[in-house]
Chain A
Amino acid sequence: MKWETVIGLEVHTQLATRSKIFSGSSTAFGAAPNTQASAVDIALPGVLPVLNKSAVECAIKFGLAIGATLNRINVFDRKNYFYPDLPKGYQISQLAKPIVEGGALTIQVGDSERTINLTRAHMEEDAGKSLHEDFHGMSGIDLNRAGTPLLEIVSEPEMRSSAEAVAYARALHTLVTWIGICDGNMQEGSFRVDANVSVRPVGQAEFGTRREIKNLNSFKFLQQAIDYEVRWQIETLEDGGRIEQATVLFDPDSGETRMMRSKEDAHDYRYFPDPDLLPVKLDEDWIEQVRATLPELPAAMQARFQSEYGVSPYDAAVLTGSRALADYFEAAAKACGQGKLAANWVMGELSAALNKADLGIEQSPVSAAHLGALIARIHDGTLSGKLAKQVFEGLWEGAGEVDAIIEARGLKQMSDSGELEKIIDEVMAANAKSVEEFRSGKEKAFNALVGQVMKASKGKANPAQVNESLRKKLTG
């Protein structure tokens, strides 16, 4: 039987606000346990929540960025359950009236483009952390994270492979960091993915029973977890078994998912509107003010890169992988006026060097202005591609401006035709056999001669000029 995979993702993004969603405590990561937990965060008797306006603005930004409906009246609900890292015994969330409904995200998988629809996104508070090591059989509670604002972003079950799920998660990650509502740090838990996975026979309309893989904190684990889960579900069904709805965890060491709780253990969260918080009304002025702070979005920028700089759709997608990369490319392209060349260099030489050095575009030792200047020297014929790579190395090492490096290292392309003529004559004289072979019709010999001339010029000869002069002399 042929099987189809169905995946929907729920992503918890920590909103990049300075203070918590319902208290004035800092949200900075990594402080000593419980030093960023106020009376409100530890839920002392009598304390009350007060909504952080910037958390709402982050959610509005997101809704605008994905073309969603923004609910004008926002209600916060209490989700009741007991756990030591949930100080109030309930989490303040949004059930019936999430701030964001609908919207869509375009993803690129290989050469094809797909649109994934979103169900909703709602604001809620994060819980604290339970620490089970180092306490001699007891557990520690760190409430620094309790009350950190989250936007839980829920997609429709529209992805059909782990590759699509990863592409969606990446596109979402790009977008939330792009619009500045999330720092995107997956190690620190700023972007956590839950994957709902089911399989069904190809052609069947109903969904299979889903299992939810919780808390995946890297794209690699997302892919591995889904791949394992899909194999496990298909095998289970083909062996005549049944899939029970469940929540599972992925163990990166074994590469397997294991059951956390079954549907029977599911909580009744007894949701109801939080009487401590009034409904929040989004008026049009506020929405427009927030809209004015949105940067140009990745999709718009991709279209503009294609029309303005003549780059391919694929290149435009790669170049808008992050706002920093897109800004870098655009600055370099503007500096040299050569969009396609700039795209090649940014995606080629520069990316390779950054990868090798394990650096992000933000830390690039070569500035966009320098790269632009370098590309300009290629375009005006001063540098060959090969020489340009040597100049690039100089820039990477911090050896100074492009022209200074060219000068200091003598990397200028040979422009004196007399000098080139002389080298060609010498090479022809020293390689009489190759000259003979070319003249007897062996075209391959020509390339060998070109190579010799380039070598004799120490790479400074202009390859086009070498071609032309050499052919003229051989045939003339």
Chain B
Amino acid sequence: MSATSLTALAAQLKAKQVSSRELAQQYLDRIAALNPSINAFITLDTEKTLLEAAAADALIAAGQAGPLIGVPIAHKDIFCTDGWLTTCGSKMLHNFVAPYDAHVIQQFKAAGMPSLGKTNMDEFAMGSSNETSYFGAVKNPWNTAYVPGGSSGGAAACVAARMAPAATGTDTGGSIRQPAALCGITGLKPTYGLVSRYGMIAFASSLDQAGPMAPSAEDCALLLNVMTGFDPKDSTCLERDKEDYTRDLDKPLSGLRVGLPKEFFAEGLNNEVAAAVEAAVSELKKLGATTVEISLANSKLAIPVYYVLAPAEASSNLSRFDGVRYGYRAPEYGNLDDMYCKTRAQGFGAEVKRRILIGAYVLSHGYYDAYYLQAQKIRRLIAEDFNAAFKTCDVILGPTAPGTAFKLGEKSDDPVEMYLNDLYTIPANLAGLPGMSLPCGFDGKGLPIGLQLVGDYFSEAKMLNVAHQYQRVTDWHTRQPEGLK
């Protein structure tokens, strides 16, 4: 399958050069061929996919064509999908068939986009390598000995391997951007509150945000048009007018002020990544952008702050998985407490349990002020750094991750080393700002390198504009892994 953009696919569908059913079948065939070695999908349901595609064909035939009607998409297994197994990558939900659609799923269904399947992910979105999934690690399509990043590792890998033209992801501390970087695709985490969280299984409610993952920025803009929209079922969803995120794609970049945070180009950053990001900066300058050095001084505290707040929220969000009403329940237990203990001990993996314990600890009596409240204060300082920076620049640019993909198993015994992977992505989640990753090169091992853009609140159209202009003059985003043809 060629690197066909969503725009091109939609045009082919509208011109009746291909039916949605045929297109879906092509992707399903490729999934059947490649997924055994990549493990990007947890659940496939060919029958359902083809039924949805046939329904899209009927709509196209009836002339009810939306921009992406009939284009198939893969959904992260964190989104409840009516009638589909929805596991969140956990044994705890290994048998949970969702009885309703997440708002994001509703939006894609309403746009006539068939679902190709549910993608693999770190368990409850907790991880940066997709190795914590109960359903096994996802392999990086560029080299299957390497991780794809996480938590939306299945989504990134299936797009990189062209098993799907696009995928949904979610990002709590970098879970869209870091796997997008490690797999060489484009991914965007919108401003917090832009996309409804209803039906998206919560990890850390104040940080979680769904977003699109696809080869290009243009694709992401089209997908974002579908995903966003006010949902009264999510109290944190913002009531704003619908925007067209493709509107500024073709604007020239002359006069664009790109902020380069000095802290993001300091110690800890891989040299090859630094060089690729700096080369990208040169490209943008050629397009008329200027650069300005900025400081995000408190972002060095982002990881400790995140690993107080996210586990605190997670420890509470995951309490509903108690074996009482749905999901996994231990087969044998003595009494109620024993049922809870055994169910949760057996149903959750090690990383999830680690974060529940950290979260319960920082919220407990006597520690709340020292950890949770203190972290909230620093969170505000981190946001204030960004506010100050956006007075002197239009968009912030830096590396998405400190390095490229690492080997499976390389960091799984060292949680802190693993956590450092999200060093550059977490600050945007803490501040609620939009962030995106786009491919900007390869390292000596042939593994993709990602570039991160962070914009001011609701500046997605501008970020997509910058990314699209960059992608017009570069071809990193069109490259495909050689070994998978």
Interface, chain A (partner B; CB < 8 A): 39, 42-51, 78, 80, 82, 84, 87-90, 141, 268, 270-272, 275-278
Contacts and interface: CB of A to CB of B under 8 A. Distances in A.
A11 B236 CA distance: 31
Given A82-B340, A89-B320, A46 B202 contact: yes
Contact of A141 (B79, B86, B324, B360): B324
A94 to B, nearest CB: 15
A49 B364 CA distance: 24
Interface in B362-379: 363-365, 368, 372
The winner among B325, B340, B364, B368 for most chain A CB atoms within 10 A is B325
B199 interface: yes
Contacts of B80: 44-46
Interface string B341-375: 00000000000000000001001110010001000
Nearest to B80: A46
A271 B372 CA distance: 11
Nearest to A83: B336
17 contacts: A39-B100, A42-B325, A44-B80, A45-B320, A46-B197, A47-B199, A48-B197, A48-B236, A50-B235, A80-B315, A82-B322, A87-B324, A270-B364, A270-B368, A271-B363, A276-B235, A278-B235
B233 interface: yes
A401 to B, nearest CB: 55
A48 B364 contact: no
Interface string B93-113: 100101110100000000000
B200 interface: yes
Ranked nearest first, the 5 interchain pairs of A and B with the lowest CB-CB distance are A89-B319, A270-B363, A275-B205, A275-B206, A46-B199
A89 B316 contact: yes
Contacts of A88: 319-320
A80 to B, nearest CB: 5
B320 A272 contact: no
Contacts of A272: 312-313, 316, 363, 368, 372
Given A42-B325, A49-B235, 19 more contacts: A44-B98, A45-B86, A45-B201, A46-B98, A46-B102, A46-B197, A46-B199, A48-B197, A50-B233, A50-B235, A82-B322, A87-B325, A270-B365, A271-B368, A272-B312, A275-B205, A276-B202, A276-B235, A277-B235
B235 A43 contact: no
Contacts of A49: 235
A270 B316 contact: yes
B45 interface: no
Given A45-B98, A49-B235, A272-B368, A80 B198 contact: no
Contacts of B200: 46
Nearest to B373: A272
A277 B202 CA distance: 14
Contacts of A43: 320, 325
Contacts of B313: 272, 275
B336 A84 contact: yes
Given A43-B325, A84-B324, A87-B325, A48 B234 contact: yes
B258 interface: no
B88 interface: yes
Interface of A is mostly: loop
B157 to A, nearest CB: 24
Contact of A80 (B88, B93, B96, B319): B319
A394 B200 CA distance: 68
Contacts of B205: 275-276
A276 B368 CA distance: 19
A254 to B, nearest CB: 26
Nearest to B365: A268
Nearest to B100: A39
Interface string B185-218: 0000000000001111110111000000000000
Contact of A48 (B100, B198, B316): B198
B88 A45 contact: yes
Contact of B360 (A45, A270, A276): A270
A88 B315 CA distance: 12
B236 A276 contact: yes
Nearest to B337: A82
Contacts of A80: 315-316, 319, 363
B255 interface: no
A42 B325 CA distance: 8
Interface in B359-410: 360, 363-365, 368, 372
Interface in B290-329: 312-313, 315-316, 318-322, 324-326
A87 B152 CA distance: 28
A49 B320 CA distance: 14
Nearest to B326: A44
B42 to A, nearest CB: 15
Contacts of B319: 80, 82, 88-90
Contacts of A46: 79-80, 98, 102, 197-202
A49 B316 CA distance: 14
Contacts of A42: 325
A82 B320 CA distance: 9
Nearest to A39: B100
B446 interface: no
B232 interface: yes
A39 B99 contact: yes
A278 B236 contact: yes
A330 B363 CA distance: 55
Nearest to A78: B316
A89 B327 CA distance: 15
B201 A89 contact: no
Interface in B56-85: 79-80
Contacts of B322: 82, 84, 89
